[in-house]
Amino acid sequence: MKKAFTFALLAATLFGAGNRAHAQNKIGHIALSDIILAMPEAKKADTALQQFRDALYQAAQDKSAAFDDAVQKFYKDSSTLTPAVKEVRRQTLQKQMQEMQGEEQRIQQELQKKQEEYSAPIQKKALDAVQAVAKENGYAYVLVKEALLVAPPSDDIAPLVKKKLGLK
């Protein structure tokens, strides 16, 4: 009888501990991209990035126009130039043309670098808010909704994170 009572007490203790452990493992999910897009910092960064892109493309167009003018001038003046001067100008034009051919790739690299520069603090702020909300509300796991195909039942913590960030 004493053994049965001890076994029952042990089983009840383990069952209770199991329920407490399960209760601590709250799972939440969030569409992080939606949070980031709703942040005013993201809108400002997008505007700044657009202006930067426009400035880069304008500079490229100016270079292209200058190159076209140099080519036209070369053809116009070629009849009066000595062969040595023609060769030097031709080499200069070829060098400019090679530089312009890599311009699109250079612009894309600069845009990517600037985008990372703008987005890093915004992403950090969003992730910090998610971590703070998870800690305050007892979530053991927060999953990114966009990456899930199948997931266990979980709470959408987006409203809590938006509130933490002061978003509507």
- Domain range annotation of the chain: 2-165
Rounded distance between C-alpha atoms, residue 100 and residue 95, angstroms? 9
DSSP reduced 3-state for 127: helix
Q: Is the pLDDT of residue 1 over 50?
A: no
Global pTM value: 0.68
pLDDT digits (tens, 9 = 90+) for 85-135: 889 989 999 998 888 888 889 999 999 999 999 999 999 999 999 999 999
Pick the closest to residue 63 from 106, 17, 103, 26 (CA basis). Answer: 103
What single letter denotes the amino acid at residue 64? S
Predicted confidence at residue 61, as pLDDT, reads 93
| Comparison of pLDDT for 16 and 129, the residue scoring more | 129
Distance CA 127, CA 106 (A): 31
Which among 168, 165, 141, 166 is positioned nearest to 155, based on CA atoms? 141
How many Cα atoms sit within 13 Å of 16 on the Cβ side?
A: 6
pLDDT above 60: residue 5 = no
Q: With bands split at pLDDT 50, 70 and 90, how would you rate the model's confidence at 50?
A: very high
